Structure 1
Amino acid sequence: MGRWQPLRSDLPAEVVRLVRELRQYVDRCELNTETVAAKTGYSRSSWLRYLNGRRLPPWPAVAGLGRLAQADAEYLRVLWESAAHAWTPTGQTGGTGPATALRRPAVRAADPATSVTSVTGPAPEGKRRPRSKPTGPRAGVLSAVAAVCSLLAAILLARPWDTGADAGRPPDGVPAGAPGWPWPLRSAVDGAAAACRSAGCRGLDPYRERCDRDSVAVHRLRAYGRVLTLRYSPTCLASWAEVETPAGTVGLRITTNRGDEQVAARGGAYTAMVGSGPDAARATVVVAGHQLGVARYDSWIDAVTGSV
């Protein structure tokens, strides 16, 4: 839809994957942030931050959007958990970036009023001049900084995330059967590439086969409060029909010029796939006594007489 802002270059790759996936869900469902907010229970301002990479969305918000898009919940949970592992508090508060939180602790310049007292000139004969000590709050600041640096050094040297202690064990809360951390992440194209292709997709669910992940809307028709869409996956080489707000519809189907046809159940939101490109397919649905139809370069509305 061309409305998304470019993501910050310092966002971790795992966060970028999650945000792009969520943006695709919003586009696929033709939603706006007000609708997403109303249907998920999270405010519009929160979704603007989530979808622009300024804050990590909580899992319930991600799951809610996934349900609207009929997404694979387990796959989505894997994306979210990996993004959560890569996220840092700096990214949540809109600082300089998630990756900078452990790079350099901020240390203020010394305040002349509380800096170490300088001593000049030789000590009196036979006496050792005592070492000067930090005064007042400065001593506390230096101690705190030293403690933080020591802790960070210990963490970086130990690298607990590389010890393999958590290998094979998913973090708490992931779905049963999820692989252990670190999870192999798949891009949208990778997900589609692992699915069926062409004639092998005939009669299969486009979302279960993940052919939707690179799909495009070939043509849309809006009428009678519905949106009929002819969709095509370049990776799966297959097409299917969809209708938004499927309640009250009947006869949602996709047909090809070779006689192949797939019909959704009454009130269904989408059909199974046909192994055909968009040039040879057309989608139709009946609503309010009219048949809506779309092909690649055409659309129509016809009155329906008799039963469908």
Structure 2
Amino acid sequence: MGRWRPLRGDLPDEVVRLVRELRQYVDRGEMNAATVAAKTGYSRSSWLRYLNGRRLPPWPAVAALGRLAQVDVGHLRVLWESAAHAWARQSPADETDPAPATRGPAERADAPVTPETVPAPAADGTPRRGLPVARSGVLTAAAAACALLAAVLLAQPWDTGTDRGRPPDGAPPGAPAWPWPLHSAARQTAAACRSNGCRGLDPYREGCDRDSTVVHRLRAYDRVLTLQYSPACRASWAEVEAPAATSGLRIATTGGDQQLAAVGGAYTLMVGSGPGTARATVVVAAHQLGVGLHDSWIDPVSGRG
């Protein structure tokens, strides 16, 4: 979705954490608001509000995006409930959108939601039906949302068959086929190195690419900069697709560790760091592109890159 707008300074920390998590899912899938709308049943304008922190997304929308990104729905539910409680404490109770009877599924209103108004999800993330709710009138809306989410999940509109079995456009060489799994280290074979033992080593020679995940990526100037992380190796590195005419491809940590690729290099050696403390940068067309766990940026570079 390009560079994200800064979130409002008055948003509760719990809401900020949820929004950043959802932004990561969108970035990992290289989606935009229109794509997310088509694949979740919530309108493009609603997702723009959700992803910019102007409205708290309802749980069915969050669950649909989480399933699309193949993440742990239980973890996502905890983040959402925390954000919902914080939002309810700060926001007025009458913030609702008009909901005309003619409005279709993709144009559904996104009235504010709290944990008390939505049933807890089943093990697969699908909201349960038939549970009591706190307010009169909310039951109908919750049931309708549950029914629509079930239809979306059964239809799986994102599984067109044309994307499955090949990496998304712009993915670096060796990227897994769509949909990208967020691998667990427990499911991987033993790594050749781990954490600080991986520092300065080649991620492909050490086999750390086998379970690597995309932490964040930025597309600009016909390049794709990616921050990669291996849960099995507990190490990070930077990659750039179309490395020609680039320089300064670097992976650096907040602790001062860094690895710099040669001019025109496609990836760096590893640093023994998790994704929360690593940043990837590269210089192209007199601009530095950068990505971290939650942020991306493009800054002009003066002089030689």
Q: What TM bracket, shorter-length normalisation? A: 0.3 to 0.5
Higher relative contact order (CA 8 A, sep 6+): 2
Larger radius of gyration: 1
TM-score (norm 1): 0.41
